[in-house]
Amino acid sequence: MIRGFQTRKEGISGQSLLFTVCVFYVVGCIRNKVLQFAKTLYDSMHGLGTNDLSLIRTVVSRCEIDMVQIKEEFERAYKQPLGKYIAVSTLNTAYCLPSVLAK
């Protein structure tokens, strides 16, 4: 519970799907911002295809601020380096991202 708000799905049942997703994203950021960005990167590359827009937007927006912490949290959570995961997931379509992450 965060200030009287239930974070389980039962706590916000009856709301729209977009609202529910937004609430869970905000709650994730409140709990652990760095892990939430690592999850966003993972989700943008996991499964069939890559969500290039989400991947590039997350990397570019966080690059100057806390990308080192996000890379460490990604490796801790998913047991593989973020740069390598991006290179494999994008099949070199986003060729500049691994070089950005190498710093």
Mean pLDDT of 18-45: 88
Q: Are residues 92 and 69 in the same domain?
A: yes
Nearest Cα residue to 59 out of 21, 4, 5, 100: 100
Residue span of the structural domain in which 43 resides:
32-101
pTM for the model = 0.65
Mean pLDDT of 2-22: 66
More confident site: 62 or 43? 43
Q: Are residues 86 and 73 in the same domain?
A: yes
Q: Please report, for residues 21, 69, 93, the alpha-carbon distance to residue 38 in angstroms, rounded to integers and kept in the order given.
A: 16, 9, 20
Q: Please report, for residues 21, 41, 88, 93, 99, the alpha-carbon distance to residue 102 in angstroms, rounded to integers and kept in the order given.
A: 31, 16, 15, 17, 5
Total number of domains constituting the chain: 2
Q: Are residues 49 and 96 in the same domain?
A: yes
Q: Are residues 2 and 41 in the same domain?
A: no
Question: Is the pLDDT score of 23 beyond 60?
Answer: yes
Mean pLDDT of the chain: 78
Composition of the chain by helix, strand, coil, percent to 5: 65, 0, 30
Q: What is the CATH number of the domain that holds 40?
A: 1.10.220.10
Structure tokens at 66: 């806390």
More confident site: 84 or 77? 77
Question: Is the pLDDT score of 1 beyond 50?
Answer: no
Q: Are residues 52 and 91 in the same domain?
A: yes
